[in-house]
Structure formats: structure tokens, C-alpha cells
Structure 1
Amino acid sequence: MVSRVIPVDDFDLVIFGGTGDLARRKILPGLFRRFRSGQMPADSRIIGAARSELDTSGYRAMIREAIVEFGGDEKSDTDTLDQFLNALDYVAIDAKGEGGWSELKSLIRDKVIKAFYFSVAPSLFGDLAERLHAHEIADTDSRIVVEKPFGRDLASAQALNATLAEHFDERQIYRIDHYLGKETVQNLMAVRFGNVLFEPLWNSHYVDHIQITVAETVGVGGRGGYYDKSGAMRDMVQNHLMQLLCLIAMEPPSVFGANEVRDEKLKVIRALQPVEAHHIVRGQYDASDDAASYRADVENPRSFTESFVAMKCHVSNWRWSDTPFYLRTGKKMKARTSEIAVVFKDLGHKMFEGDSARHRNILAIRLQPNEGMDLQVTIKEPGPGGMRLIDVPLDMTFADALGDDAEDATDAYERLIMDVIRGNQTLFMRGDEVEAAWAWTDPIIEGWEARNDVPKLYDAGSAGPDDAMMLMHRDGRRWRDIKG
């Protein structure tokens, strides 16, 4: 199978924070892959902008090192890498002052798509937006990309939206969540809405419950200062897990368009019931063997910030009445995995005897690692001895099924950036969607603070606190095993 690469139009992309970790690890290596595939026009320009006093040759050398370190097999194509690096420029810029803005303006071309990636702290969004307009660099067709965290509560998200709205229309703002750029997430919509096999069953009549798990083996790393003020609820649940829940639960949009998809996602968030205190578990990883505790990692011996959250949610609409959604995410778990599991109900009548009652159909959608899907079905165990039933997966691991095309499914950032250039906002969050997510999240956090809630400790390298297991066991259910 040969994938079809459709080139985008000529563009200028300015990356504010162009020397930062995200730019070096994800954005620039991803753009190189798009350049090498032929999707990025040869005349397009990428301009790094940051505080560092570099010139263009120094910036190109930095990005060459980054692509060698963080790129895949494509980094061995040195001739194409040289061509890509020639498309890079750099400007040392003062986000809060006037330094560098005239030079940046001189590099921006007319009559091409202009995009500005705000890979900086949210506190700088307003300054950048204001100066882009004051220096007449951005116009009414320009696009801006903003990274999470988009606020830390409803009030701050509303303030950020208002700040950006002073200079850009909603159609120009792309709030990026890299989870939505994953091949499997997009395939979730194709599987749901493109196959008669699933959509008629996608409701409370046939689905017993849905599990969404995002587990990480790493701790807070070098993000301790940020993370200790944020925690798993703000860092993961309010955005990543919320987006996955919306896509799994939303109604079919009338067409596959940006506003139509986001309208349906917004309806899901607004239909979420408040989470009762006994339906949520906070955790914090403790020291285990050679692994340090969370408090040691953030250098705060009195921290009560959660590194793990598990909860039971309900979507109050006709489709999902009485079907619970179980969400969990945590750091320093026993394996790295992101998975959505749709667990179907038992058959109404069981014609087989013995342990067959325990067999269920499960559609497991893997986001990482090894993106793909498998459908667990029940069959007769081969061999003599009667009707013994076993569960087997109908497996579609993209790397196996699509061969070389799976390379295009490895990184979400490059796909999302190309969507920005195309002007396609389908996989980006809208302002009212972000605010609705915070409106649901804030009361949970406020409840913890009012109760002086203390996270339950769990061993680093485990599946999380025991209370999270009980959250499922009380309902006669169990979490799927966390496997990498």
C-alpha cells in the first residue's frame, strides 16, 4: 500500500519558543518528515523566534542536532536534511518589548499562508498577539497555534480566550492537543461512523461500560515546578482524557466538518454529570525500589498534588443512560499505555455452560504504544473435549497492517501542523469547548481543597492505589491490565 501525500500551499511558519524542548523534540523533526515526504513545499519558510542570541546558521546547527537526536530513520537522509535546514531562519525576539519585531516582519512574505506557533508560556500569548498586530505582521487570514495548558481554571481560560479574541477571530485560533492528531484517535471516528458493524451498537443498550486509560512510566521529570501546581487533573484529565471521552461518546455530526464535530463534542461535556466524591480517587506515587517518590521529584516534602486520578463519570443523554465511563491516568505506572476499551454487555441468553458467562466482546483502541485496534471475540477453543470457549483478538496493529504507511502514523504534531496550514480546525479545541471542560473540572478540584483531600499513596511501578481498584470492584467490574 502506498500512501497518497497531498502537498499543502506555500507558507511561512513562525515558531515562538523555537529553541525550546517541544520545538526541538517534536515540531521541527515532524516538519522535516513532512518536507521529506513532499508535503511541505520547497519554498516554504520556518522561522524560529526566541530570546536566545543566535544567528540563522547557529539555529540551523541546533536543529540539525535535534533532528539527529530525536528523529527516526529519516535523519540518515542528509541531503534532504540539508535542503530542509536551508528553509530555516531565526530571529532573537523580545516577546514583551520591541527587539526583533522589525526583523521578523522583514522575513515574512506576502501572498502566502502565515502561521504563528505559540510554543511559550500562556502568560506570553497576549504579548505576542498584540505585537503581531502592532507591527502588522499578522493579517485577517493568519493562524495562531496555542499549546496547553490553556488556563488553570475556568476564569483564567476565559481571560485567555478574551485576550486572543482582541486580535484574532475564533476561526484563526488553533488550540492544539496532540492526542487528537494520533492516527488511532482519528480512526476511532472512522470505525464508529464508517461501519454499520459498530454504530448501531454504540449505546447503553449494548455497551456495559467504557474505560479510558492513559498511564505513563515516567515521573514528573524536569517539569516538577509546573506539575506540582497543576497535578494530573489539570495536566491530563481536563484536556487529553476529556477529548478522548468526547470522541467516544459524541453523536454523529451531520458532516465531518470542524464546527459540526466540535458542536457534538461540546454537547458531551455539557451532558457530563458532576462527579460524586466517592466516585473519584486521587493518588501520588511513593518511593519503590530504585524509584524516587513524587515529593522527592518535585522537591516538596509536603506536597498533596495528585500524580494519579481515577474516576467514574456519567453522560446524561439518551445514548449513554446508565453506561458509566471510567477514566484513569497516572505517572510512574507499571507500563506506558493509552487505551480506550469499549466493553460490550453479556448476551441476554447463554446457551453454553461453564465459564462462558465470563466472555465478553471488547473493542480496545490503543493510542500508544503500537497504535492500533483489536476486537476481542469469543470462539471455540481448538481441539477435542467439548465446547470450551476462549477469547481471541481480531488485531489491527497499524505497523503490521499498513507496512511502510504506518510511518505516517507515528507523530501527531506533524499532522496537526499540516492541518493548520490547510485551515482545518476539526482536530483542534474551540474556545467554548475549553471553557466547558474547565466548568466541569473546577468543582472537582474545589471539592478536594474544601475537604483537605490527601492523595492515596501508590508504589512507583504499580497499577495505582488500591482505592482505584475498589472503584471498579464495587460495581462488579475490573480495570483492564496496564500493558505496554
Structure 2
Amino acid sequence: MKKRQSNLKPTIFIIFGGTGDLNKRKLAPALYNLYTENYMPGKFAIIGTGRTTYTNAQYREEILHSVNEFSRNGEVQKERWDVFEKNIHYISVDIEQQKTFEDLKEAIVNLQEQFGPDTQTIFYLAVAPNFFPLIAECLHKYKLTSDEEKCRIVIEKPFGHDLESAKKLNCLLSAIFTEKQIYRIDHYLGKETVQNMMAFRFANSLFEPLWNRTYIEHVQISVTEQLGVGERGGYYEDAGALRDMIQNHLLQLLCLVGMEAPISFNADEIRDRKVEVLKAMRPFKPENVSLQAVRGQYGKGWIEGKEVPGYRSEKDVDPESNTETFAAIKFFIDNWRWQGVPFYLRTGKRLNQTSSTITIQFRDVPHHIFATSSIESWQQNRLIISIQPEMSIRLQVQSKRPGLNMILNPVDMIFNYKGTYDNNTPEAYETLLLDVMTGDQTLFMRGDQVETAWELVMPIINLWENKKSLNFPNYAADSWGPEEAEALIAKDGFYWFTLPVKE
């Protein structure tokens, strides 16, 4: 279904944290790009809120600088911007001073009267998680949430700090909003290659018959970063790699790989299938965590010729920190499709490469008919879905090398976005913001999905927090993580796959 202007109702978009980094880098550029490509409603308003005092003109100038710097389309077109900026407003709102919500309500009511009775209101919480409950309660108190058909709230991650806090937040939100009003956003699910997983699996008859334990040997999902924690040391001390990446991003990718075929492309139908995967995953027992999970913390080293500090020397980090910056975990899905197939998830900072990949390794052929001299570079078939730095899907197969002798070597059959499509690929936030405006929850997490994911990883979190690691830091910057991570997968006869380095 096309999601053009004709499909969209008049929309008021309120951004709590309108002066923050997320709005500047992602939300404002995304909304402007949607506007320039005719995906915004004919009538819309963007209201930024924050403690800083701005006039509308000052705020518009700030947003202009942000869009010019971070938009995928580069600097704005003046004639388009001149029209777009008239829809941008700013209201000073102090979340801890509830009476300031009166000004916000007045502005919303005035715009609703201008736009008409079909106007929908979207509240985007681009603020620290501890403000989520307070904002929700204030919106309810000032009767800004009563129309469940025309009011939506968008919650950024992290959704809770653990299972208990996630349940508490879900309980609070469900007392104010219905589930169809709540959009728990995970920007990873808006990435083009991640979305293509659904089309790749369920729009083609070629792979689905092979998508099971009979033909697939194991699955690897890796999200690795060269960067350290930077200015986010304070946040990362409370989060760590397991909470920050695996509990949400990587488990979401695992669900896309592991889910059963939905009966339709309906949001709840697809989300039901994802929850089924999480509920089928083998629970961790405290005594088995060390056999299935590895943690690490980076030390100092060199990245691209520049010396970088270890994690414990980063800003706002405890010099004796027990926080993991690397995690590798082996999961199992105990159902008919995946029984016995290991899913290896890995993420970390200050690693050798920044990349996000899903690799499906197929089982070897049952019988080798070629001479040993012909298959020196033999490799099992693999399907590699690259999310970043490049967006591609490649199938690695064996082929005969040109020449008079029968020599086999692996070759890649590649679908590359950049080489196939000329248009500029939308950013993840553009996709997700458009889905919020159209009321499509397919790419957003449901409450039970969030809680089930937390429930799965809590035994690991509890063990790691209550048992201090005695060997941190245990990997150097620009490495591939701790040696224990290699041992985790090597004992099963496998090794971690990495993308080839481009010259």
C-alpha cells in the first residue's frame, strides 16, 4: 500500500526532547525528507519541546542546521524549506513542572481546530527513560490521550532496565493507552535490509523449503562497532552490551530469521509469530550460563593509527567497572523447525570492524564426489545478509574455476542495493515515522514481546551483575573480542564469520 499524502490524516507531531541529539540527528532530518518526497500529510505541524527557551524563528534555525548536516539528501532546497519550516513550532515544556503542559495543550487544541476533526496527534518521547512515566501521566492528566483512534505515543529504547521495570512501564502505559496506541520503536527494524528479510523469506519459493534444521547447520548474527562508548559512558555503565544490543536489536533479528510464516501481512499476525519464537527459546539456567555466554570489556589499543583508551578510562566510567562492552551468546529455539540448530549472537565495541550481518550456514553436501585436490578451498553454502556498512544479500555457492582442470572454489551471487537501485535509500527513522503516522505497527514491538525478551536474558544479566569479572579488560581495541568468544563457537566446530575488508 502506498503511503502518500492522500492516505494520511492531518497530523500534529509533538517531540519531547525537541532540543536533543536524537531529534537533531534523526527525527528532524527524517521528517523533512518525508516532506520533500511527498510522504507527509497535506496538513501537519511539528512541535518541539524542551526546557530551553526559543522563539519559533530561533528553533527553526536550529532545525535547519540539523537537517543540513544530517539529512541523507544534503542541504535543503530553499523553496521547499521555506514552506516546511512554517509547520515547525516550539514550546518550552519542563517535564517536572506539570503546569507547563497547559501551554502545550492550548497549542494542540488550536491546531486541531485549524486542521479539522480528523486530526491525529503523535507524542514522541525522545528523552531519558526515567521521564517516560512522568510524561505519560501528564498527558493523561491534561486529557491529551483520550481519543484512542487519533492519539499515539512513541517510546524509544531502552524499554525498561530489566524484566520488572519493563512490566511496570507496560502496566502504566496500558492504564492510559490501548496497545494499538503504543509504538515501542527499535530503529534496527526500520533498516531496509532488515525489512527485506520478510520479502526474501516469504515472497520466494526457493528458500522457505530449506529454512529449517534439515538444511541449516547454524546461524550467526553479529553487530560489531569500531567506536567506543564516547560521551555515553554514564548511560553505558547502566546498560552494557547485553541490555543495549542483544535484548532488543539482535533478538529482533533472530525473530525475523526464526519465525514461522504468517498467514497475512497483518501487524499483530507478524508480531504473534515473533513472540512464538521468543517463547520457544531454551531458557538459561544459572549453572549453564558460562557454557553459553561470554562477556568482555575492551582495553586500550590502536584504531586506524590512533591510540584509544580502554573502557575503564572513558568519561563517566567507573575505573573498576564490571560492565561488559562485548557479549557473545548461543541460543536454541526448541521447536520442530529449529531443534538443535545453534543461533550465535555477538556484539561489541572497539572491535576490528563496524558491521551488521546475518549469516545462515547450510549443511554440507552428504557425499563428496570430487578429488581432494579439487576442493582445497571448499566452503559450505552460506547466505549472508549485510545490514551495514553495505546493504546486500549474497549467496555463497561452489563453482568450477575456469580452466582445463576440475578445481572448485566459492563464488558469490550478490544482490546489492547500491548497484540495483538508483534512488537514495530512506533512513530507518523515515520508515518508522511514516508507519506511526499511518498506524502500521508491523515494525514495532508489542508489550508481551518486550517482556518475553527480558525474561529470556535475565538469568545472564543477574549472573554477570552479581559475579564480578576478574579478567576485565580482556580484549584489546581493534581485535575481534575475547578469546573465550572464539572458544564458545569453536567447541561446536564453527568460527565467527567476518566481512572481507575492502581495499
Q: Structure 1 residue 233 and structure 2 residue 233: aligned?
A: no
TM-score, length-normalised on structure 1? 0.95
Task: Read off the aligned partner of 1:282 and give its amino acid letter.
Answer: R
Q: 1: CA distance between counterparts of 2:85 and 2:433?
A: 18
The secondary structure found in structure 2 opposite 1:229 is helix
The secondary structure found in structure 2 opposite 1:425 is coil
Q: Structure 1 residue 198 and structure 2 residue 168: aligned?
A: no
Alignment-derived partner of residue 144 in structure 2 = 137
- The worse-fitting range, judged by mean Cα deviation, of 319-328 and 75-84 is 75-84
The secondary structure found in structure 2 opposite 1:200 is helix
Taking only the aligned residue pairs, the percentage that are identical comes to 43
8 Å CA contact 2:9, 2:118 repeated in 1: no
Task: Note the C-alpha offset of 1:72.
Answer: 2.7
Q: 2: CA distance between counterparts of 1:394 and 1:14?
A: 45
The secondary structure found in structure 2 opposite 1:366 is strand
Task: Read off the aligned partner of 2:435 and give its amino acid letter.
Answer: D
Aligned match of 1:402 in 402, 417, 421?
A: 421
Q: Which residues of 2 match residues 252-291 of structure 1 at below 5 A?
A: 252-275=261-284, 276=288, 277-289=290-302, 290-291=307-308
The secondary structure found in structure 1 opposite 2:346 is strand
Q: Structure 1 residue 472 and structure 2 residue 492: aligned?
A: no
8 Å CA contact 1:336, 1:483 repeated in 2: no
Alignment-derived partner of residue 94 in structure 1 = 94
Task: Note the C-alpha offset of 1:73.
Answer: 2.9
Aligned match of 2:451 in 435, 440, 454?
A: 435
Alignment-derived partner of residue 402 in structure 2 = 382
Residue-by-residue CA offset, 1:165-184 (whole Å, 9 max, x unaligned): 12101110000000000111
Aligned match of 1:366 in 343, 361, 386?
A: 386
Alignment-derived partner of residue 324 in structure 1 = 342
8 Å CA contact 1:334, 1:482 repeated in 2: no
Q: 2: CA distance between counterparts of 1:67 and 1:322?
A: 48
Task: Note the C-alpha offset of 1:226.
Answer: 0.8
Distance 1:324 1:283, change over 3 A: same
Q: Which residues of 2 match residues 416-427 of structure 1 at below 5 A?
A: 416-427=432-443
Residue-by-residue CA offset, 1:18-74 (whole Å, 9 max, x unaligned): 110000000110111100001112421111011111121111011011111112334
Task: Read off the aligned partner of 1:6 and give its amino acid letter.
Answer: R
Q: 2: CA distance between counterparts of 1:419 and 1:168?
A: 18
Q: 2: CA distance between counterparts of 1:133 and 1:467?
A: 50
Aligned match of 2:183 in 146, 150, 174?
A: 174
Distance 1:440 1:128, change over 3 A: same
8 Å CA contact 2:300, 2:308 repeated in 1: yes
Q: 2: CA distance between counterparts of 1:102 and 1:159?
A: 27
Residue-by-residue CA offset, 1:365-394 (whole Å, 9 max, x unaligned): 11111212111111111122x111111111
Q: Structure 1 residue 120 and structure 2 residue 114: aligned?
A: no
Q: 2: CA distance between counterparts of 1:86 and 1:33?
A: 16
Q: Structure 1 residue 350 and structure 2 residue 368: aligned?
A: yes
The secondary structure found in structure 1 opposite 2:59 is helix
Q: 1: CA distance between counterparts of 2:391 and 2:107?
A: 39
Task: Note the C-alpha offset of 1:482.
Answer: 4.6
Task: Read off the aligned partner of 1:305 and give its amino acid letter.
Answer: T
Task: Note the C-alpha offset of 1:111.
Answer: 2.4
Task: Note the C-alpha offset of 1:303.
Answer: 0.5
Alignment-derived partner of residue 320 in structure 2 = 302
8 Å CA contact 2:327, 2:346 repeated in 1: yes
Task: Note the C-alpha offset of 1:467.
Answer: 1.2
The secondary structure found in structure 2 opposite 1:29 is helix
Q: 2: CA distance between counterparts of 1:34 and 1:24?
A: 15
The secondary structure found in structure 2 opposite 1:103 is helix
The secondary structure found in structure 2 opposite 1:469 is helix
Task: Note the C-alpha offset of 1:447.
Answer: 1.8
Gaps of 5+ in 1: none
The secondary structure found in structure 2 opposite 1:408 is coil
8 Å CA contact 1:204, 1:321 repeated in 2: yes
Q: 1: CA distance between counterparts of 2:229 and 2:467?
A: 25
Alignment-derived partner of residue 47 in structure 1 = 47
Alignment-derived partner of residue 460 in structure 1 = 477
Q: 2: CA distance between counterparts of 1:483 and 1:293?
A: 26
The secondary structure found in structure 2 opposite 1:102 is helix
Task: Note the C-alpha offset of 1:85.
Answer: 1.6
Residue-by-residue CA offset, 1:290-345 (whole Å, 9 max, x unaligned): 01100111442100110000111111111001110011000011111000001111
Task: Note the C-alpha offset of 1:202.
Answer: 0.3
Task: Note the C-alpha offset of 1:456.
Answer: 5.5
Task: Note the C-alpha offset of 1:352.
Answer: 1.5
The secondary structure found in structure 1 opposite 2:425 is helix
Task: Read off the aligned partner of 1:238 and give its amino acid letter.
Answer: Q
Q: 2: CA distance between counterparts of 1:401 and 1:294?
A: 40
Distance 1:49 1:483, change over 3 A: farther
- The worse-fitting range, judged by mean Cα deviation, of 44-53 and 272-281 is 272-281
Gaps of 5+ in 2: none
Distance 1:256 1:267, change over 3 A: same
Alignment-derived partner of residue 12 in structure 1 = 12
Q: Structure 1 residue 71 and structure 2 residue 71: aligned?
A: yes
Task: Read off the aligned partner of 1:439 and give its amino acid letter.
Answer: E
Q: Structure 1 residue 160 and structure 2 residue 179: aligned?
A: no
Q: 1: CA distance between counterparts of 2:48 and 2:223?
A: 32
Q: 1: CA distance between counterparts of 2:81 and 2:218?
A: 48
